[in-house]
Every structure is written in structure tokens, then in C-alpha cells.
Amino acid sequence: MPDERRGQQDRRQRLEEVELERRSWNEDHPMARLEVLREKIRRLEDDVRDSRDDQVSKQEFEPVKRLIYGLVSVILLAVITAILALVLSGKMP
């Protein structure tokens, strides 16, 4: 999660930098607009590359998935067992 926040902050900072550059140029000049667009495209491409690096493969995720499902199953089994014990013992509040 900290990496995601840092990535979002980096993107915001990049966009702010581009906006400051754009404001400093004469907006009517076509080359100024073209440069801003080129820079935004470069940064978007970098962001796409970075997001691909952050993805987890299915093989890497499978053990984590099994562990979490197992823990949830144990917790649910404990809750169901406790409810059944209360019902069968007749000590319902």
C-alpha cells in the first residue's frame, strides 16, 4: 500500500509539474501544446510500465489465497461450533 500511495503522489507531482510548465508557455503556441502532450504521453507510458511491475502472478497469489481461505474456514467453523454448543446445551441467553 505505501508503494501505491507513493506512486499516486508521484503521478500528482508529475501532473502538477507539467501544468506549471504549460502555464509558463504561451498557450496559443502550437509547439507548446505539443510538448505538453508529448510529456504527458511519456509519463503515462512510464506509469503503465510501473503498474505492470506491481502486479502479482496467479502462481504467486495461490498460496496466499489458500492460507486466507483456510483461516476464514477455521474461524467460521469455530463460530458455528459455538452456536451449536449453545443450542444443544440449552443455555441460550
54 three-state secondary structure: coil
Q: pTM score > 0.75 for this model?
A: no
Say how far apart CA 76 and CA 30 lie, in whole Å: 64
C-alpha cell at 47: 506509469
Percent of the chain with pLDDT over 70: 82
> From the centroid of its chain, how far is CA 40?
21
Q: Which three cell numbers stand for residue 28?
A: 496559443
pLDDT tens sequence across 15-52: 787 777 666 656 666 767 787 788 889 989 888 888 87
Set of cell numbers at residue 25:
508557455
In whole angstroms, give the CA distance from residue 5 to residue 11.
10
